[in-house]
Amino acid sequence: MNNQSNSVFRILLVEDDEITNYITTTKLKNLGFENVDAVLNGELAIEYLSANQPNLIFLDVNMPVMDGFEFLDSKAVKSLYSDIPIVMLTSSGRPKDKEVASNYENVIGYLEKPLNYEKIQNIFSTINKL
């Protein structure tokens, strides 16, 4: 993706750690992605999606209120937002979580935090192939 298309590409980051949100948002903006929004749990993500249509969601696995898998299982996400590519994020690296994530059609990646520029660029290479 070039910087011109990056600037109109909307990303939703669903992550309960505000420091991780800041770091990830900064990295994305350094790559030219100007439209990056962050919410702290899956429930807030569903509220966000009722008014916004991101092109990509980075979704933490473990969060309070509603975790990543509960978000993916919610009726709203299944019926209204199943076409949005989702990248699962984890700090645990549990193989079971990766296996479960692979069962969701719109999950296109599963990455361990923290995200670095190489991981981010690999995700966008995957999206460009879709």
If you write DSSP's letter for every residue of 67-107 in order, what string do you get?
Answer: -HHHHHHSHHHHHHSTTS-EEEEESS--HHHHHHHTTSTTE
Instruction: Name the CATH topology of 3-129.
Output: Rossmann fold (3.40.50)
- Summarised one tens digit per residue, pLDDT across range 76-106 is 788 878 889 999 999 877 889 999 999 999 9
∠ CA 28-30-31, nearest 5°, is: 65
> Over the stretch 20-71, which tens digit does the pLDDT of each residue have?
999 999 999 999 999 999 999 999 999 999 999 999 999 999 999 999 999 9
Chain segment 1-22, per-residue pLDDT in tens? 555 467 689 999 999 999 999 9
For residue 1, what pLDDT is reported? 55
- 66 Cβ contact list (under 8 Å, min separation 6): 41, 42, 43, 45, 46, 74
d(CA 22, CA 9): 18
**CA atoms within a 13 Å half-sphere pointing along the CA-CB vector of 3:** 4
The pTM (predicted TM-score) of the whole model is 0.91
Strands 10-14 and 35-39: parallel
